[in-house]
Structure 1
Amino acid sequence: MSIESVNPATGEVVDSYDETSESQREDRLERATETYAEWRETPIERRQGLLSEAADVLRGNVEEYATFMTEEMGKPIVQSRAEVEKCAWLCEYYAEHAASHLQDEVVASAPEARTVVVHEPLGPVLAIMPWNFPFWQVFRFAAPTLAAGNVGLLKHASNVPGCARAIEDVFREAGFPEGAFTTLLIGSDEIDAVVADDRIAGVTLTGSDGAGRAVGETAGRELKKSVLELGGSDPFVVLEDAPMDETVQAAVQARLLNSGQSCIAAKRFVVVDDVYDEFVDRFVEAMDEQVVGDPTDERTDVGPQARPDLMDELHEQVEKTLEAGGECRLGGEPIDREGAFYRPTVLTDVPEDAPADREELFGPVATVFRVPDEAAAIEKANDTRFGLGASVWTEDLERGERVARRFESGLAFVNELVKSDPRLPFGGIKDSGYGRELAEDGITEFVNTKTIWVQRAGGAGTEMVE
């Protein structure tokens, strides 16, 4: 069978790719296992050098890779190029810092012994990745995983098979051995069998909380390490002393980045009463100014939704919210044109338990809530089953940090939109998952942190306590 890649802006088939057959899957799993036996022994300086080569490959082919993204999932071309550049930066980060993150640590212990903590790779790691950042999500798994001495297998989203193949080619062209990074073009119904396979040492997933629960259940049953980066409904808290010009500008960007299809996008705008009317008026005006259209056009701010069915789901959430009593201040409907385009939308007066209050809206739809004061803003920000990111906007930095510390989230920003950075750990709590990606935390997720105790025979007696 074949997988078709369809351009969401035009509905045209971009290309078709052969699915990985059961026998091919078996061959690739076996090859990955064999490669791991050699790769784990490869000096880390060599692994770092190859990551540096991967960064060069990415930058040398930026237009090709950016075009793949834009054609397959509709990301505006300017943002696609930026995504490729960010992947190169990530490779360079681990090319520089992997050895220091993984170096042995001598720990003071018993005076007659030398105790060392070392980090050893686990084996082949399966990554189940989404379509919304089709290069970045993969590279933030692959770069630290490969640097640590593991090998990677990728099950990418079915609507970005060209991106999946292109990423495999990046590592091959950079000089990584065959089997160090392998793409499996398989269906979701095959994931459980791969996770359960004895050759897989761990699994990481970025996606919905439903998918995360299913993968986490299988990994838990098999006693395998897992990292889950799931959905989010990030609050964007605006206090009465917020710098309004910068706040409104950032609010638009935070909601519409990647055409609104980002787990760390600001989705719930929580605004104190003193500045609520001013914020809403200016926010609606700024959202209305955004250019929606052809994602290959440099001037486009918002492209299509990645698939027509995803746009339909988003519109259903909006309609149910309005039926429940919410008010639509802008947009609220698909654009009458070819392609899966949805108008930038602002909802207000949303009742509790309406979809826009409780569910993640994965598209260019913002929900604004009025609250009386800071305490109520924090309460509303935390009133969600998600806990990925959050931001607060205020002129008082001490106040901002105090509020940030009270957010129930894995990421908290003051006067900046929530974003990922190779130098900082990334991940969430509650229904947004567990584990961390990026920085030192990301590279040590899939390693065996081993304690080594070295002592002369006939030394001090052994304590009979576990």
Structure 2
Amino acid sequence: MANYKTVNPATGETVREFDTLDDAGVEAALANTHRGYLTWRNSAPQQRAAVLSKTAELYTERADELARMISLEMGKPVREAKGEVQLSAAIYQWYADHGPALLEEERLDVPGAEESVVYRRPIGALIGVMPWNFPYYQVARFAAPNLMLGNTIILKHASNCPQSALLMEEILRQAGLPDDAYVNVFATNEQIADMIADPRVQGVSLTGSERAGTSVAETAGRNLKKVVLELGGSDVFIVLDSDDMDATVKSATKARLSNAGQACNAAKRFIVTEDFYDDFTRKLATSFESVSAGDP
């Protein structure tokens, strides 16, 4: 069943479809990432850092290709998509540069203790459930530190950006990451719940809606798995005063429409004092009307 699809948001055309995993595919993802963890955790931090650095390099080299893919799948303008690619590359490079030092043991001076040491160790295979508004950035900030630490990853991306998800997996492998250290899956929500419950999985990270977060947290809690959640918000744009309404409206337009309007910190509500209400709403409507929708 093709639940994962690339649909051009400018035209509504279905460009490509992907079938979801069968039971054998679920088992393979679990078995491979668990096996991969047993090896990857013993690799030298410098080796992991080299993979992340090469990943950053490949993101830069393939920036146009990567940007156009997320524009095709989720609709943000290509210019903004390129900015996301650059940010993602910077994240991988930061962990490549600083990761080995961050993993060094840390000795603490604790009164009454003969010796106190902090060790940072991997825990196993992790599941990442990622949203479609920032396809590369959301994965980078989850994958980079965990791969640097020595964990392995099962990545379930949003169903409307499957080709972006495959590109990320391809680049990590091209950078030298073992095939079983990062596995992209086209899985159903029910399959992800079963994976979270599997003893070979040690934790899950989700960025998404409160509804999705509630479900994942319940499954993780019931199975005593570590869980990290970043859930949806509804930010407000408040106008209390202004000596430059044109600049205020320009800022409001960007706050509402940037990233195709799909950002956790996008202005989803506007609260305006009575003195400025008429001027603000009139100019904001004019500003919105000037924006052209279509092929990003």
Query: Shared fold (TM-score greater than 0.5)?
Result: yes
Residue type at the aligned position of 2:52 = L
Structure 1 residue 286 corresponds to structure 2 residue 287:
yes
Structure 1 residue 39 corresponds to structure 2 residue 77:
no
Q: Does the 8 Å CA contact 2:5/2:161 hold for their aligned counterparts?
A: no
| Aligned counterparts of 2:183 and 2:226: Cα–Cα separation in 1 | 20
| Aligned counterparts of 1:75 and 1:58: Cα–Cα separation in 2 | 18
Change (3 A) 1:122 1:242: farther
Question: What is the aligned partner in structure 1 of residue 182 from structure 2?
Answer: 181
| Aligned counterparts of 1:44 and 1:282: Cα–Cα separation in 2 | 54
Question: What is the aligned partner in structure 2 of residue 133 from structure 1?
Answer: 134
Question: What is the aligned partner in structure 2 of residue 452 from structure 1?
Answer: none
| Aligned counterparts of 1:58 and 1:158: Cα–Cα separation in 2 | 22
Residue type at the aligned position of 1:76 = P
Query: Shift in Å at residue 245 of structure 1?
Result: 4.3
Residues 175-198 of structure 1 deviation map (CA, whole Å, 9 limit, x = unaligned) = 111111110111222121011111
After TM superposition, list the pairs within 5 Å mapping 1:395-434 onto structure 2.
none
Structure having the larger proportion of residues in helix:
2
The normalised TM-score by structure 1 is 0.60
Q: Does the 8 Å CA contact 1:14/1:71 hold for their aligned counterparts?
A: no
Question: What is the aligned partner in structure 2 of residue 255 from structure 1?
Answer: 256
Q: Secondary structure at the match of 1:135?
A: helix
| Aligned counterparts of 1:58 and 1:127: Cα–Cα separation in 2 | 20
After TM superposition, list the pairs within 5 Å mapping 1:220-259 onto structure 2.
220-241=221-242, 244-259=245-260
Deviates more, 1:71-80 or 1:170-179: 71-80
Query: Shift in Å at residue 96 of structure 1?
Result: 2.0
Change (3 A) 1:97 1:15: same
After TM superposition, list the pairs within 5 Å mapping 1:6-21 onto structure 2.
6-21=7-22
The normalised TM-score by structure 2 is 0.93
| Aligned counterparts of 1:29 and 1:73: Cα–Cα separation in 2 | 29
Change (3 A) 1:242 1:145: farther
Change (3 A) 1:92 1:244: farther
| Aligned counterparts of 2:106 and 2:196: Cα–Cα separation in 1 | 32
Question: What is the aligned partner in structure 2 of residue 99 from structure 1?
Answer: 100
| Aligned counterparts of 1:274 and 1:132: Cα–Cα separation in 2 | 35
Query: Shift in Å at residue 112 of structure 1?
Result: 6.2
Question: What is the aligned partner in structure 2 of residue 421 from structure 1?
Answer: none
Query: Shift in Å at residue 27 of structure 1?
Result: 1.5
Question: What is the aligned partner in structure 1 of residue 120 from structure 2?
Answer: 119
Percent of residue pairs bearing the same amino acid type: 42
After TM superposition, list the pairs within 5 Å mapping 1:279-358 onto structure 2.
279-295=280-296
Q: Does the 8 Å CA contact 2:128/2:142 hold for their aligned counterparts?
A: yes
Q: Does the 8 Å CA contact 1:237/1:270 hold for their aligned counterparts?
A: yes
| Aligned counterparts of 1:186 and 1:205: Cα–Cα separation in 2 | 14
Question: What is the aligned partner in structure 1 of residue 273 from structure 2?
Answer: 272
Residue type at the aligned position of 1:179 = D
Number of equivalences: 295
Query: Shift in Å at residue 201 of structure 1?
Result: 0.5
Structure 1 residue 191 corresponds to structure 2 residue 192:
yes
| Aligned counterparts of 2:98 and 2:292: Cα–Cα separation in 1 | 40
Query: Shift in Å at residue 247 of structure 1?
Result: 3.0
Residue type at the aligned position of 2:235 = D
Give the root-mean-square deviation of aligned CA atoms: 1.9
Q: Secondary structure at the match of 1:283?
A: helix
Residue type at the aligned position of 1:229 = E
Question: What is the aligned partner in structure 2 of residue 405 from structure 1?
Answer: none
Q: Secondary structure at the match of 1:121?
A: coil
Change (3 A) 1:26 1:238: same
Change (3 A) 1:120 1:246: farther
Query: Shift in Å at residue 219 of structure 1?
Result: 0.3
Q: Does the 8 Å CA contact 1:76/1:258 hold for their aligned counterparts?
A: yes
Query: Shift in Å at residue 244 of structure 1?
Result: 4.0
Residues 427-462 of structure 1 deviation map (CA, whole Å, 9 limit, x = unaligned) = xxxxxxxxxxxxxxxxxxxxxxxxxxxxxxxxxxxx
Question: What is the aligned partner in structure 2 of residue 85 from structure 1?
Answer: 86
Residue type at the aligned position of 2:88 = C
Q: Which runs of 5+ in 1 are unaligned?
A: 296-466
| Aligned counterparts of 1:201 and 1:14: Cα–Cα separation in 2 | 36
Query: Shift in Å at residue 203 of structure 1?
Result: 0.4
Query: Shift in Å at residue 204 of structure 1?
Result: 0.7
| Aligned counterparts of 2:147 and 2:99: Cα–Cα separation in 1 | 10
Q: Does the 8 Å CA contact 1:204/1:227 hold for their aligned counterparts?
A: yes
Residue type at the aligned position of 1:154 = L
Query: Shift in Å at residue 111 of structure 1?
Result: 5.3
| Aligned counterparts of 2:45 and 2:253: Cα–Cα separation in 1 | 42
Query: Shift in Å at residue 242 of structure 1?
Result: 6.5
